[in-house]
A and B are shown apart, each in its own frame.
Chain A
Amino acid sequence: MTTSTSLVYLIALPLAGAALLLLGGRRTDKWGHLLATALSASSFGVGVYQLTQMLGRSTEERPVSQKLFDWINVGAFNVDAGLLLDQLSICFVLLITGVGTLIHIYSISYMSHDQDRRRFFAFLNLFIAAMLLLVLGDSYLSLYVGWEGVGLASYLLIGFWNQKPAYATASKKAFVMNRVGDMGLSFAIMIAFATMGTVSFAGVAEQAENTSEAALTGMGIMLLIAAAGKSAQFPLQAWLGDAMAGPTPVSALIHAATMVTAGVYLITRSNFVFDAAPTAQLLVVIVGAITLMFGALIGTAKDDIKKALAASTMSQIGYMILAAGLGPVGYAFAIMHLLTHGFFKAGMFLGAGSVMHGMDDEVNMRKYGALRKFMPITFATFGLGYLAILGVPPFAGFYSKDMIIETAFNAGGVKGIILGSVTLLGAAITAFYMTRVMILTFTGTKRWDENAHPHESPWLMWLPMAILAIGSVSSGFLLSRGDALVNWLHPLFDHHEEHEQHLLEPIVVSGLALTMVAIGIAIAFVKYSRQDVASVAPEDVSVFTKIARQDLMQDRFNETVFMRPGQVLTTTLVATDEVVIDGTVRTVGKIAMGSGSALRGLQNGFVRSYAALILLGAVALVAAIWVVVQ
């Protein structure tokens, strides 16, 4: 383990930017966005520097740590504010700062007309800092700080235009559902401390083998809940669609490339827990598989381009979670898909933003059409991302997704067949809805309003798109060449070199996958390219489509199961407090006052009746004496 003093700058630079811009107020309006972009870029620079340093060291020496100060130190509960940069976190650092910087650049132009652009950049910097803390923290508790930090940044950015009540509600929904996940993380930390006496990654990794499977399973399930909350996995997925209320760069950075993948990071980071807790691992796979299908199905019915992409994100993260749940063989592929997805999905989101930019913030794809001619660069970059997500060779998604499908089949037995089929089916549906997006947006006839003047975006916007497109094309190939990423991450994961039995040969899997993709594309073509698309969503659709349009009833479910009963409980408790508890108190008071006013009747002002009472008192006194004397 190497120590370093420069890790802190990774976080400190964007954090300083956020603080400066937020505290500086309007004074920094003029140059705030530039400063933020520069700081994000310099953080990327530090990341690259760390990578080069890391490459120059032997495998054992590669992880770098930095202890900043004693954070919480009570009895046996010792948590340092410490940073850890290893092979896993450097991937994230580069993704976060790299894509982050690109999106900063994109936003300069995208947000140029917004009067609060400075605040937007401050929040972006805050997000970068929090996300870096999340992946750099060396204990679950430091991770927790970043974890909630990104939740806060996400809340602030989703609700950036919170003057619209719906957007404000969306941001609140995201934060609260994330908090449910955070609760899981809290539980996981508590279990770790109660059973292992430590909450640092290293400590838990060391103690995991001495700890009972039950405890680890519990911790694993709690980590899974945390991951589900942050990564919009079933059953905590409902917030992601609404989170598209935020400005599009936010969707690209936070809700596609980085924050939502934090769950994958958490599970791969906690590999020592899951490896020892097969039940928890199985649950991870199940959650991944369900979400994969869930997101894909929602994606087929969405007319809002951002929501379609969000559903796709959910589905793709499902792939990653599934891979992560497959154990040591899957971690690297999960991360690889995460990285490639980071490129192509961010690219596509930026493309969507570019389209919206040209179409006066119209998001309904049914009002697009034939934009290819008007936005050639956007079309090209978006198209490259499209090919990548489909998994068409040699684009990035081909390498990463195919590996996941393959690993899924190799999981063995019925499990393997089911998982493999699900992933394959998912690939087909992905092909269908992504093709639908392409057709509706870029080809066919124009369906936009009279006063729309679609135009290509300025270079500040298309440049990041282009760079991301390059990533979408090449990253898969680069990362998988000679198993580069797998080998890079290998020291972290306890990979038992037992020879997997291949259920299907890799080439067969690829073939199957490509076939499925082709089928998906074909259906989409038949459905959307051969016939005219209505510019208003048709109502006479199948029940299935209706349900898919309503996000598979996820909101209705949450409303009936949690929100309504919660509201009823709240009103009941408020009434209880008023009537029962405070009522009891007031009744006591009323009894006192009632007896007082009853006795007050004696105080009638007539001195003679007072005298009579005194006389009565005297009688009572004498009677008492008489009794005593007798």
Chain B
Amino acid sequence: MDASNYLYISALLFTIGAVGVVVRRNAIVVFMCIELMLNAANLSFVTFSRINGDLNGQVMAFFTMVVAACEVVVGLAIIVTIYRSRRSASVDDASLLKR
């Protein structure tokens, strides 16, 4: 099987994730979409690792996972904080920072 098929899947998932970030309003879902994009990127890393016969790609994916974990922790904390003050988890409601 051609390993590049994984890359197509990865591209599709990434695009879906990106669309999700734009169209969904619930901050948690937006976050999940970001995770989806990260995972899509990870899939590419792993696939490239396989194509090149080299473990560096996997190490990269590993680092991505760690950073993603950090991001989730902090991001969810931010969501909780915002929710606490605004009683809303909609990203559209936090729109004061403009002009």
In the complex they form, whether A and B have CB atoms below 8 Å apart is answered with yes
Contact B18 A607 (CB under 8 A): no
User: CB < 8 Å: which of B25, B96, B98 contacts A608?
Assistant: B25
Query: What sequence of 0s and 1s flags, for each residue 595-609 of chain A, a beta carbon within 8 Å of any chain B beta carbon?
Result: 000001001111110
Contact B21 A604 (CB under 8 A): no
Docked Cα-Cα span, A603 to B97, in Å, equals 9
Contact B92 A603 (CB under 8 A): no
A74 contacts B by Cβ under 8 Å: no
Residues in B whose Cβ lies below 8 Å from that of A605: 95-99
Question: Nearest chain-B residue to A610 (Cβ)?
Answer: B22
Contact B18 A606 (CB under 8 A): no
B94 contacts A by Cβ under 8 Å: yes
Docked Cα-Cα span, A606 to B94, in Å, equals 8
Contact A608 B21 (CB under 8 A): yes
A611 contacts B by Cβ under 8 Å: yes
Contact B92 A608 (CB under 8 A): yes
Pick the most buried of A600, A603, A605, A608: most chain B CB atoms within 10 A of its CB. A608
A615 contacts B by Cβ under 8 Å: yes
Contact A615 B97 (CB under 8 A): no
Contact B22 A604 (CB under 8 A): no
Contact B99 A608 (CB under 8 A): no
Contact B91 A608 (CB under 8 A): yes
Contact A603 B99 (CB under 8 A): yes
Query: What sequence of 0s and 1s flags, for each residue 602-630 of chain A, a beta carbon within 8 Å of any chain B beta carbon?
Result: 01111110011001001000000000000
**Interface residues of A: mostly helix, strand, loop or mixed?**
helix
Contact A604 B18 (CB under 8 A): no
Docked Cα-Cα span, A607 to B95, in Å, equals 7
Query: What sequence of 0s and 1s flags, for each residue 77-99 of chain B, a beta carbon within 8 Å of any chain A beta carbon?
Result: 00000000000000110111111
Pick the most buried of A600, A605, A611: most chain B CB atoms within 10 A of its CB. A611
Contact A615 B92 (CB under 8 A): no
Docked Cα-Cα span, A484 to B97, in Å, equals 100
Docked Cα-Cα span, A612 to B97, in Å, equals 17
A602 to chain B, nearest CB (A): 10
Contact B95 A606 (CB under 8 A): yes
User: CB < 8 Å: which of A600, A603, A608 contacts B22?
Assistant: A608
Q: How many residues of B contact A (CB 8 A)?
A: 14
Docked Cα-Cα span, A527 to B82, in Å, equals 108
A605 to chain B, nearest CB (A): 3
Docked Cα-Cα span, A606 to B95, in Å, equals 5
Residues in B whose Cβ lies below 8 Å from that of A604: 95, 98-99
Docked Cα-Cα span, A96 to B30, in Å, equals 101
Docked Cα-Cα span, A618 to B97, in Å, equals 24
User: CB < 8 Å: which of A600, A603, A606, A611 contacts B21?
Assistant: A611
Residues in A whose Cβ lies below 8 Å from that of B99: 600, 603-605
A448 to chain B, nearest CB (A): 82
Contact A606 B92 (CB under 8 A): yes
Docked Cα-Cα span, A605 to B99, in Å, equals 8
Given the contacts A606-B92, A607-B91, A608-B91, A615 and B98 also touching, CB distance less than 8 Å: no
Question: Nearest chain-A residue to B18 (Cβ)?
Answer: A615
B15 to chain A, nearest CB (A): 9
Residues in B whose Cβ lies below 8 Å from that of A608: 21-23, 25, 30, 91-92
Given the contacts A608-B91, A608-B92, A603 and B98 also touching, CB distance less than 8 Å: yes
Docked Cα-Cα span, A607 to B90, in Å, equals 10
Docked Cα-Cα span, A608 to B20, in Å, equals 10
B53 to chain A, nearest CB (A): 24
Query: What sequence of 0s and 1s flags, for each residue 311-330 of chain A, a beta carbon within 8 Å of any chain B beta carbon?
Result: 00000000000000000000
Given the contacts A612-B22, A615-B18, A615-B22, A607 and B94 also touching, CB distance less than 8 Å: yes
A603 to chain B, nearest CB (A): 5
Interface residues of A (CB under 8 A from B): 600, 603-608, 611-612, 615, 618
Across the A-B interface, the 9 shortest Cβ-Cβ residue pairs: A605-B98, A605-B95, A612-B22, A611-B21, A607-B91, A611-B22, A606-B95, A615-B18, A603-B98
Sample (15) of A-B pairs whose CB atoms are under 8 Å apart:
A600-B99, A604-B98, A604-B99, A605-B95, A605-B96, A605-B97, A605-B99, A606-B91, A606-B92, A607-B91, A608-B22, A608-B25, A611-B22, A615-B21, A618-B18
Can you add 12 more A-B contacts, CB < 8 Å, to A607-B91, A618-B18?
A: A603-B98, A603-B99, A605-B95, A605-B97, A605-B99, A606-B95, A608-B30, A608-B91, A608-B92, A611-B21, A611-B22, A615-B22
